[in-house]
Amino acid sequence: MPKLTINGIAVEVPNGATVLQACQLAGVEVPHFCFHERLAIAGNCRMCLVEQEKAPKPIAACAMPAADNMVILTESERARKARKGVMEFLLINHPLDCPICDQGGECDLQDQAMAYGFDRGRYLENKRAVKDKDFGPLVETSMNRCIHCTRCVRFIGDVAGVADLGGIGRGENMEIDTFVGKALESELSGNIIDLCPVGALTSKPYAFAARPWELRKTESVDVLDAVGSNIRIDSRGPAVLRILPRLHEDVNEEWISDKTRFAVDGLAKRRLDKPYLRRAGKLVEASWQDAFNLIATRLNGVAGSKIAAIAGDLADAEAMMALKDLMAALGSSNIDCRQDGAALDPSNRAGYLFNTTIAGIEQADACVLIGTNPRVEAAIMNARLRKRWLQGGFRVAAFGPKLDLTFPVTSLGAGPEGFADRAREFLKDAKNPMIVVGQGALRRKDGAAILAAARDLADGVGAVREGWNGFNVLHLAAARVGGLDLGFVPGSGGRDVAGILAGAEKGEIDFVYLLGADEIDMNHLGRAFVVYQGSHGDAGAARADVVLPGAAYTEKDATYVNTEGRVQLARRAVFPPGEAREDWSILRALSGVVGKILPYDSLAALRAQMAKTYPTFLGVDHVPQAAWGPFGKSGALDPAPFVYPVADFYRTDMISRASPTMAECAAVKSASSQPKTGTHG
Partner 1 sequence: MSEAPSGAPFEQPASFAFTPENRAKADAYIAKYPAGRQASAVLSLLYLAQDQHDNWIPRAAMDHVAEILSMPPIRVYEVASFYTMFNLRPVGQYFLQVCTTTPCWLRGSDAVMDACKKKLGVGVGGTTADKKFTLLEVECLGACVNAPVIQVNNADFYEDLDGASTEKLIDALARGEKPPKGSVIGRQNAAPIGGPKTLTELK
Binding site for partner 1 (CB under 8 A): 157, 163-171, 173, 178-180, 678-681
- Residue 625 carries which DSSP code? P
What gap in Å lies between CA 145 and CA 197, rounded to an integer? Answer: 10
What gap in Å lies between CA 225 and CA 260, rounded to an integer? Answer: 8
User: Of 22 and 156, which CB lies nearer to partner 1 in the complex structure?
Assistant: 156
User: Of 174 and 302, which CB lies nearer to partner 1 in the complex structure?
Assistant: 174
The answer to whether residues 220 and 573 touch, using CB atoms and an 8 Å cutoff, is yes
End-to-end CA distance of the chain: 52
Q: How far is the CB of 532 from partner 1 (least distance, A)?
A: 47
Which residues are CB-contacts of 194 (< 8 A; sequence separation ≥ 6)?
244, 245, 254
State the number of CA atoms in the 13 A half-sphere of 359 facing the CB.
11
Q: How far is the CB of 381 from partner 1 (least distance, A)?
A: 23
For 237-355, strand residue ranges (E) read 239-245, 276-279, 282-285, 307-311, 335-336
Q: How far is the CB of 361 from partner 1 (least distance, A)?
A: 24
User: Of 391 and 679, which CB lies nearer to partner 1 in the complex structure?
Assistant: 679
Q: How far is the CB of 674 from partner 1 (least distance, A)?
A: 17
User: Of 166 and 635, which CB lies nearer to partner 1 in the complex structure?
Assistant: 166
- Other Cβ atoms less than 10 A from the Cβ of 417: the count is 15
For 331-419, strand residue ranges (E) read 335-336, 366-370, 395-399, 410-413
For 391-516, strand residue ranges (E) read 395-399, 410-413, 433-438, 464-465, 468-469, 471-474, 511-515
Q: How far is the CB of 678 from partner 1 (least distance, A)?
A: 6
Nearest to 563 by CA among 671, 633, 499, 476: 476
Q: How far is the CB of 261 from partner 1 (least distance, A)?
A: 24
User: Of 6 and 165, which CB lies nearer to partner 1 in the complex structure?
Assistant: 165
Q: How far is the CB of 147 from partner 1 (least distance, A)?
A: 18
User: Of 25 and 163, which CB lies nearer to partner 1 in the complex structure?
Assistant: 163
State the number of CA atoms in the 13 A half-sphere of 664 facing the CB.
15
Q: How far is the CB of 185 from partner 1 (least distance, A)?
A: 11
Q: Are strands 9-12 and 3-6 parallel, antiparallel or unpaired?
A: antiparallel
User: Of 523 and 677, which CB lies nearer to partner 1 in the complex structure?
Assistant: 677
User: Of 44 and 363, which CB lies nearer to partner 1 in the complex structure?
Assistant: 44
Q: How far is the CB of 389 from partner 1 (least distance, A)?
A: 15
For the chain, what is the radius of gyration of the CA atoms?
27
Nearest to 335 by CA among 494, 481, 486, 443: 494
In the sheet where 71-73 sits, what is the strand order?
Answer: 9-12, 3-6, 71-73, 49-52, 59-60
User: Of 163 and 603, which CB lies nearer to partner 1 in the complex structure?
Assistant: 163
State the number of CA atoms in the 13 A half-sphere of 616 facing the CB.
26
* Single-letter code of the amino acid located at 521: D
User: Of 171 and 237, which CB lies nearer to partner 1 in the complex structure?
Assistant: 171
User: Of 34 and 558, which CB lies nearer to partner 1 in the complex structure?
Assistant: 34
Q: Are strands 239-245 and 276-279 parallel, antiparallel or unpaired?
A: unpaired
Q: How far is the CB of 48 from partner 1 (least distance, A)?
A: 24
The answer to whether residues 48 and 31 touch, using CB atoms and an 8 Å cutoff, is yes
Q: How far is the CB of 175 from partner 1 (least distance, A)?
A: 9
What CA–CA distances, in Å, run from 594 to 274, 278, 513, 526, 588? 20, 20, 14, 24, 10
What gap in Å lies between CA 247 and CA 380, rounded to an integer? Answer: 13
User: Of 81 and 182, which CB lies nearer to partner 1 in the complex structure?
Assistant: 182
User: Of 392 and 467, which CB lies nearer to partner 1 in the complex structure?
Assistant: 392
Helix (H, G, I), strand (E, B), or coil: what is residue 151? helix
The answer to whether residues 74 and 8 touch, using CB atoms and an 8 Å cutoff, is no
Q: How far is the CB of 173 from partner 1 (least distance, A)?
A: 5
Q: How far is the CB of 237 from partner 1 (least distance, A)?
A: 42
* Single-letter code of the amino acid located at 340: D
Q: Are strands 511-515 and 529-534 parallel, antiparallel or unpaired?
A: parallel
The separation between CA 425 and the C-alpha centre of its own chain, rounded to angstroms, equals 33
User: Of 237 and 678, which CB lies nearer to partner 1 in the complex structure?
Assistant: 678
Q: How far is the CB of 201 from partner 1 (least distance, A)?
A: 16
